[in-house]
Structure 1
Amino acid sequence: MEFVNPIKNVQDIQLMKDMLKERSSRDFVLFVLGINTGLKINTLLSLKVEQLVENSGDIRSFLLVEDQKIYINDQVKTALSFHLKKTQPPLDSYLFKSPKSDSPITRQQAYRVINEAARKVGIADQIGTHTLRKTFGYHAYLKGVAISLIQERFHHACPSDTFRYIGMDERDQKIDVNL
């Protein structure tokens, strides 16, 4: 398995969102949900519409997965609303449904989506499906979320594992911790 990086530049994230939104509402939601929840790709791909949407059509405020309550922020709600209006999927269907079957897209397809989008917007770093999760952790830490909480979300043994995973070097850690 190749080592991949988080997307650290906020402008690159926005460029990817814009490009994916134009190309595919499904891929756009995959990216936005991934970078805003920190969920593993297998968990993301296994999501059904009904886990995020009430019978009334309202988007839930929380998602329950792996015995964790995951907050659904406004970025995710907006992206999800956009996708649902375009596709009108049944509640019992997979959120990231393959156009070829009733199954979700594969990890490999998700990798291609993320990697191709990154290349098209000029990101040269190693990018893959773990990039979504790492991007979530990196930006959560920069916004002041305690590393212990990110460590817990990622099920890491110690903070140093989490710092390494999210692409924080010693210099980044010291700058942010001392603010």
Structure 2
Amino acid sequence: MQALVDAFMDHLALERGLSENSIQAYRTDLDQFLFFLQEQKIGRSSSITHSLILDHLMALREADRSTRTVSRHLVSIRIFCRFLHDERYTDSDPSETIESPRLWSLLPDTLSPDEVQQLLEINNSAKKHQQRNRTLLELLYATGLRVTEIAGLKVGDLQLEESTLRAHGKGNKERVVPVAHTTVEIIQNYLLQDRHHYCKSELEAHVFLSQQGRPLTRQRIWQIIKEQARSVGITKKISPHTLRHSFA
């Protein structure tokens, strides 16, 4: 896929006559998009879909990027996808019908109490990753933490005997967040019963780990939320923002 981005850069320089600064801005945006696609194990331009582009844009929003920045990323992706389609690398343009983030609602859908209960329900306790995912979802909903704060959460940040945790936000600003007693119990059970299945090193400090023993990424956490929503029949668009606003 990198070769296609390089070809697109040549197209911008030779056929559209853009300045070096403009071309570099496109490359920066598309490098981030390619990194996202690699995390999703997408290696072919023909596999880029409307949903993947939306997922990337929502991940940028979840990382607290401004609407203007997300809109710029969409413009870069649109022009790249149009180039791929015009040059017959793809059969269609997956970005064609995506509205500008400037038109998106500022507040996402919220979940009803029943839908939250559905999302947090563990239908099969033996199902792979269920205890980890249940703890992650409970923490997102019960504390209103950002997904970046959840991804960066370390065992040393948990002060469960005081029913609090330390969250590290933008600019590494630290804040103390209260945690309900029932949520404390869920976290304690996960730490005692399940986390060791993922932890490959005693030095690993992050609370939520992948099967390979690495900290879960923002994108993977978002994917977990969507997978859980689908599994319990929730059809509305859902993201970490949805849980945060349901908390609020």
Smaller-chain TM-score bracket: 0.5 to 0.7
Structure 2 residue corresponding to 1:120, chosen from 228, 231, 234: 231
Q: 1:82 aligns with which of 180, 189, 192?
A: 189
Name structure 2 gaps, 5 residues minimum: 1-56, 59-103, 168-172, 197-201
| Structure 1, unaligned runs of 5 or more | 138-179
| 1:40 paired residue among 130, 140, 146 | 146
Once residues 15 and 127 of structure 1 are traced to their aligned partners in structure 2, the CA distance between those partners, rounded to angstroms, is 13
Within-5 A mapping of 1:121-140:
121-137=232-248
The RMSD of aligned alpha carbons is 2.3
The answer as to whether partners of 1:20 and 1:28 remain within 8 angstroms in 2 is no
Equivalent residue, structure 2, for 1:6 = 110
Give TM-score scaled by structure 1 length. 0.64
Could you tell me how far apart the structure 1 residues matched to 2:244 and 2:175 are?
15
AA aligned opposite 2:175: Q
1:16 aligns with 2:119: yes
Q: Stretches of 4+ moved more than 4 A in 1? A: 88-92
Larger Rg, first or second structure (1 or 2): 2
Aligned pairs, number:
131
1:86-128 CA distance string (max 9 Å, x none): 1254585211111113x31111211111111111212111111
Equivalent in the alignment of 1:52 = 158
Q: Does the alignment pair 1:109 with 2:220?
A: yes
> CA separation of 1:20/1:81 partners in 2, compared to 1, >3 Å: closer, same or farther?
farther
Question: How far apart are the structure 2 equivalents of 1:126 and 1:68?
Answer: 30
Could you say if the C-alpha distance between residues 118 and 105 of structure 1 is closer, same or farther in structure 2, counting changes exceeding 3 Å?
same
TM-score (norm 2): 0.47
